[in-house]
């Protein structure tokens, strides 16, 4: 039987759009008070209003998680204003594609900073609170869900550094799972295939034309089969509502038509 999230607090990074925003809505529907973390505070404020209108509780926390001090402050503000922390969804991410030969290493730095370092900083700051929540009612279990990617399982030409960050997230997730699972902090990774979000829009026009638009053209034809952010939000919700003795360590969600 699924557990309820009433009385819990969740923090979702990258909640200003796409998968993070959908996940925040779903967790709030399940009864969690949700802290929304991202840089675009205006988007977070709008989402807070939507969640509150639907009867939920949410808090907008504007922060750049690549700055360790801001990541720590976001966790601190969540605990101070919402009272505790039971669930961390490390979702914020950036995907800048292209060949390694001739690449701008500044793009690599940005991806590594958000996909890896930001996730590490937020996790490190959250762990003491999650360990405490795992000893307390209402659930006596806590959760970390790291949003990785199919690119954390399979490498492709042109995805090199994005692949590196997501393979890194998978390795860190499994290591941390082994470290804290007996203290009832469940640590799992969710690996989406193609999802209709803003993710590809940050690439240079030539890269979009070559690597992203062909994919979009193909998936537009198959529009009904492309994953929506809500499909991934459902997966996160499934992972964090299992009974206390059940931990979902890995969940790979693909569009049916993506081979
Ligand atoms: P979006 O671009 O819509 O969302 C990315 C989110 O990350 C935004 O809310 C953005 O908010 C936030 N973010 C980026 N940089 C920072 C930062 N420095 N500090 C805080 N927040 C930051 O894309 P998706 O929803 O698709 O991406 C969510 C996750 O899903 C990513 O980790 C991505 O790698 C993963 N994923 C996505 C897939 C897809 O096909 N869409 C497939 C597989 C995995 P803001 O700009 O306001 O800071």
20 lines ligand 1 (CB under 6 A): yes
pLDDT band at 221 (very low <50, low <70, confident <90, very high): very low
> Do the strands 9-13 and 87-90 form a parallel or antiparallel pair, or are they unpaired?
parallel
Percent with pLDDT over 70 in the chain: 94
Ligand 1 atom nearest to CA at 44: 47
Average pLDDT over residues 215-230: 66
Kindly give the distance from the C-alpha atom of residue 181 to the centroid of ligand 1, in angstroms, as a whole number: 27
Which atom of ligand 1 is least distant from the CA of 67? 18
| Rounded percentage of the chain residues whose pLDDT exceeds 90 | 87
* Nearest residue to 147 via CA among 12, 241, 258: 12
Which region holds residue 18: left if phi is over 0, alpha if psi is between -120 and 50, else beta? Answer: left
pTM reported for the whole predicted model: 0.96
- Indicate whether residue 192 lines ligand 1 (CB < 6 A): yes
* Topology annotation, domain 9-253: Rossmann fold (3.40.50)
In angstroms, the CA 8 to CA 30 distance is 10
pLDDT given at position 201: 87
Is the beta carbon of 96 within 6 A of some atom in ligand 1?
Answer: no
Give the DSSP letter of residue 227: B
Query: Do 81 and 98 form a contact (C-beta atoms < 8 A)?
Result: no
What is the rounded CA–CA span in Å between residue 186 and residue 184? 6
In this prediction, residues 28-43 reach a mean pLDDT of: 98
Closest by Cα among 145, 171, 149, 174 to 236: 145
**Averaged confidence pLDDT in the chain:** 94
162 catalytically annotated: yes
pLDDT tens string 143-185 = 999 999 999 999 999 999 999 999 999 999 999 999 999 999 9
**Span 91-101, pLDDT tens digits:** 999 999 999 99
């Amino acid at each position: 039987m699924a557990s309820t999230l009433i009385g819990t607090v969740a923090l979702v990074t990258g909640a200003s759009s796409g998968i993070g925003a959908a996940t925040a809505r779903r967790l709030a529907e399940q009864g969690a008070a949700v802290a929304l973390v991202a840089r675009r505070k205006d988007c977070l404020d709008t989402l807070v209003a939507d969640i509150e209108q639907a009867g939920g509780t949410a808090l907008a926390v504007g922060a750049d998680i690549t700055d360790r001090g801001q990541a720590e402050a976001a966790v601190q503000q969540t605990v101070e204003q919402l009272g505790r922390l039971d669930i961390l969804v490390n979702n914020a991410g950036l995907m800048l594609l292209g060949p390694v030969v001739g690449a701008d290493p500044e793009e690599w730095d940005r991806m590594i900073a958000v996909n890896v370092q930001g996730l590490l900083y937020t996790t490190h700051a959250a762990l003491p609170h999650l360990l405490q929540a795992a000893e307390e009612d209402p659930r006596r279990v806590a959760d970390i869900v790291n949003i990785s990617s199919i690119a954390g399982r399979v490498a492709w030409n042109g995805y090199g550094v994005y692949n590196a960050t997501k393979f890194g997230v998978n390795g860190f997730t499994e290591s941390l799972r082994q470290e804290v699972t007996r203290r009832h902090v469940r640590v799992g990774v969710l690996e989406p295939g193609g999802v209709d979000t803003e993710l590809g829009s940050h690439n240079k026009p030539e890269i979009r034309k070559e690597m992203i638009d062909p994919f979009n053209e193909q998936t537009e034809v198959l529009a009904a089969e492309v994953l929506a952010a809500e499909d991934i939000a459902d997966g996160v919700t499934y992972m964090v509502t299992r009974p206390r003795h059940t931990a979902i360590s890995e969940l790979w969600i693909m569009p049916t038509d993506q081979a």
